[in-house]
Amino acid sequence: MDREMVPGLSPVQVVALVGVLGVGAQWLAWRFKLPAIVLMLGIGLLVGPVFGLFLPDRDLGPIYRPLIAVAVAIILFEGGLTLDYGRLGDSRSPVQRLVYLGAPLGWALSALVLWLAVGLSWQSAAVFGGVMVVTGPTVIAPMLRQARLRARPAQILQWEAIVNDPIGVLIAVLVLEVVLVLETGLSVGAAAWLIGSGIGFAAALGWAAGRFMALAFTRAWVPEYMKVPVLFVGVIAVFAATDSVLHETGLLAVTIMGMVLANAKLSSYAELHRFKEHATILLVSGVFVLMAASLDFATLGELTWRAALFVIFTVALARPLQVLIPLIGTKLPMNERWLIALTGPRGVVMVAVSGLFGDKLVEAGIADGAALAPLAFIIVLSTVVIHGFTLAPLARRLGLSGADRPGLLLVGGSPFAVALAQALKKAGVDTLVADTNRQHLTKARQAGIPTYYGDILGETAEHQVEFIAYPAVLAASDNDAYNTLVATDLGPHLGRDAVWQISRERDHARHALPAQLGGQRLEGRPTFQIANQRLAEGWTLRSTRLTEEYDMEDWAADRPGAEPFAVVSKTGSLRFATEGTPVTLAAGDWITAFLPPEQSRAEDAPAPEIAAEAADVARDHREKGETTS
């Protein structure tokens, strides 16, 4: 189709269309478990160079490039905001090596491949080599969730992506400034002064702005409802101020600003970061669709077979060397090193920055700078597809994948939690029982159930608990307020549909909580006190697998008085049964239910000491509640 024959859209229509397409692609990716970046790429190509529905340069005019620049700055600020070095744990040493040694090595290797294999000029190869360091946290995170990697390699991959995201851009910024300054014909001394002063000013202003924001938030100079707007305005102001001194150093300034805030231990950090995450999703979606729509097929066609050679050298040579050489001498096992070395998907920041920097090179008279954006699309698409399909099999081959069984994190080490964990184990569900009281975990350890002693919301838990192995949570401690806190805190990270809390003791109008607090409620199911009292009276929790010959009706007929509590589907998903929600099961599904004493079998009955402890727990909980009231 002739793109010039299609009438242009207004800027408002373009913004609306890009928003719908970008967020729609993200939703479709979540719904069908596909890489979002591939869908955004495909949609952008279709509406842009294929059908010519809209062309960013034509329809947005002079505001297109500034919009992309500001969006990239905010994305990088959010990346810096995640760099809380106190949360690295035992991954600190490998991540530091991958940053201090791996990033410069990756830049050199990638630039060499681009110069020799692709045939780019040394200027374009050096700039794009810096961008190649970026591995893309927005891409690696969903891959890690899908592959269910063990905690340490998953953490190293994610932190490398987070840290190297701004590092790679900064390398590219520095090289770009060198190239642009050299193209102006300045002397070496003048060029060094211009670059050094610009970078120094950007670093100083970014650090000062971050410190000032942290101080203002800590001392309550800014009201809570204005913190996010002030932060947004501050980021854009810092970016504009530094960029006016030396082009592209604004990216360095906002990244440093985010890093300072990330390590300032702000009480409102979680809310700020969560809002920034939401804004970044919108910006990433929009930027990627816009960049894909602006791609020129003619430039892409000029790359020919060299582009394929570039992908092969990057995946099979540059990336492995970038990882394996820096990790020499570390205590990291070889299987983990190889997994990290063979996993390096690139993301949306690479595409956005490549298009931006490529235009700068073209303006400076370096013609092959126009090839940076097409090359970025090729490497992003190739690595996402390659690693998206190979990461899980590779992890299994190397013995680094988490269990394929569903997992449940039980917060609270009561006899009820032990009984539920034992029943779910029969249904193929791995459980972890966590409690802040070591004594509460004694019976769980004796039963062979994995336990965690400590606060599940603490920073230590982030390093010691493989949350990726336990995608569902049931907050079932003896404290309703703590259960609500756990569910509220973990909900945004794990998905509110995967976080449950045991029925509250007091849930009438005076004590009712707003919908945004807590997790999914086990409506009509036993409270903590009742669940433990039932065990003391001889009730049991038992899992039964349904078959074609023994369906739900047969199960219900054999167990009058049984109360369904949890359901495990044959596909491995876990959900809890609630009052008013029909329990419909198929052959191969498991149902876990409370069985009254007359329905319990001798081998399922709780041991005498468990029943006695359950009675003590229920009595103590009841007396505590009476005292409180």
In this predicted model, what pLDDT tens digit does every residue of 440-452 receive, in sequence order? Answer: 888 888 888 999 9
- What average pLDDT does the segment 608-620 reach? 70
379 and 422 belong to one structural domain: no
Domain of 154: which CATH number? 1.20.1530.20
Q: What digits encode the pLDDT tens for the residues 459-509?
A: 677 767 777 778 889 999 988 889 888 888 888 777 788 898 888 876 665
Q: What is the pLDDT of residue 211?
A: 92
Mean pLDDT of the chain: 81
Residue with tokens 């700068």: 360
Pairing between β-strand 430-435 and β-strand 574-576 as defined by DSSP bridges: unpaired
Report the alpha-carbon angle 519-521-524, nearest 5.
Answer: 170
Domain of residue 588 covers 407-627
Instruction: Give the pLDDT confidence of 553-581 residue by residue, as tens digits.
Output: 888 888 888 888 888 888 778 888 887 66
pLDDT, greater one: 162 or 439:
439
Give domain status of residue 24, yes or no.
no
Q: Is residue 484 part of a domain?
A: yes
Shared domain for 177 and 298, answered yes or no, is yes
Distance (Å, whole) CA 288 – CA 44: 8
Residues 333-340 have a mean pLDDT of 91
Q: Are residues 147 and 258 in the same domain?
A: yes
Q: With a threshold of 0.85, does the pTM exceed it?
A: no
Q: Establish if 11 belongs to a structural domain.
A: no
Distance CA 503, CA 506 (A): 9
Residues 81 and 128 in one domain: yes
Nearest CA-CA partner of 619 in 563, 507, 537, 539: 537
CA–CA dist 268, 271 (Å, integer)? 6
Q: Which residues of 322-416 form beta strands (DSSP E)? A: 407-411
Q: Which of 367, 398, 429 is the last residue of a domain?
A: 398
DSSP for residue 7: P
Give 607's DSSP letter: P
Residues 381 and 424 in one domain: no
Spatial distance between the Cα atoms of 105 and 96, rounded to a whole number of angstroms: 13
Of 354, 370, 398, the residue at which a domain comes to its end is: 398
* Residue 470 falls inside a structural domain: yes
pLDDT of residue 2: 46
Look at residue 35 and tell me if it is in a domain.
no
Phi, psi of 407 (to 5 degrees): -130, 150
433 and 391 in one domain?
A: no
pLDDT of residue 180: 77
Residues 442 and 572 in one domain: yes
User: Which has the closest alpha carbon to 400: 147, 573, 33, 142?
Assistant: 147
Residue 56 structure tokens: 């960013």
Cα–Cα distance for residue pair 255/162, rounded to 1 Å: 11
End-of-domain residue from the set 379, 398, 417: 398
In a domain, 225, yes or no: yes
Domain count, the chain: 2
Within a domain: residue 4?
no
Q: Say if residue 415 is in the same domain as residue 329.
A: no
Same domain as 181, residue 128: yes
Is 482 a domain residue? yes
Could you tell me if 371 and 452 lie in one domain?
no
Residue ranges in 263-347 assigned as alpha helix (H): 269-293, 297-301, 304-313, 319-324, 334-341
Residues 378 and 347 in one domain: yes
Residues 491 and 541 in one domain: yes
Q: Is the pLDDT of residue 414 over 80?
A: yes
How sure is the predictor about 205, in pLDDT bands with cuts at 50, 70 and 90? very high
The pLDDT assigned to 6 comes to: 47
Highest mean pLDDT among 64-73, 323-332, 591-600: 323-332
List the CATH number of the domain containing 601.
Answer: 3.40.50.720
